[in-house]
Amino acid sequence: MKFLASNRMKQVPNEEVMALFPAEQARVAELMAQGVLENLYVAADFSKAWLVLQSESLEKARQVVESLPLHKFSHSEVTPLFEQR
C-alpha cells in the first residue's frame, strides 16, 4: 500500500536542525535502499517535504516517518493513496 507523508517544518532551520541534515540524508538513503521510500520531494526553501512510502499499514508508515531525524522539528501528516491499476 502506498502513502503520502507531508512534512512541514515547525521552525526556520537553525544550527541544531542543520546539524541533523547528514543523518536525515543517511536515513532517507537507507529507506530508499529498503524499498520503503519510493520518492522524496523537498520544497526549494526546505520548509516542506513530501515522501511517497510503500508500507503494510498506516501505522507502519507513520513509524517510518517518525524514524527520520528531523521528525521532531516537523509537523507530519500521512495519507493512504488510492492506486489505480
What whole-number distance in Å separates Cα of residue 64 and Cα of residue 5? 10
* Distances in whole angstroms, Cα of residue 59 to Cα of each of 1, 38, 76, 83: 12, 18, 13, 19
Average pLDDT of the residues of the chain:
95
Q: What pLDDT score was predicted for residue 28?
A: 97
Greatest mean pLDDT range, 10-14, 15-19, 36-40: 36-40
- Domains of the chain (ranges; CATH) run 2-80 (3.30.70.1060)
Q: How confident is the model at residue 84 (pLDDT cuts 50, 70, 90)?
A: confident
Q: How confident is the model at residue 13 (pLDDT cuts 50, 70, 90)?
A: confident
Inform me whether the pLDDT recorded for 85 exceeds 80. Answer: no
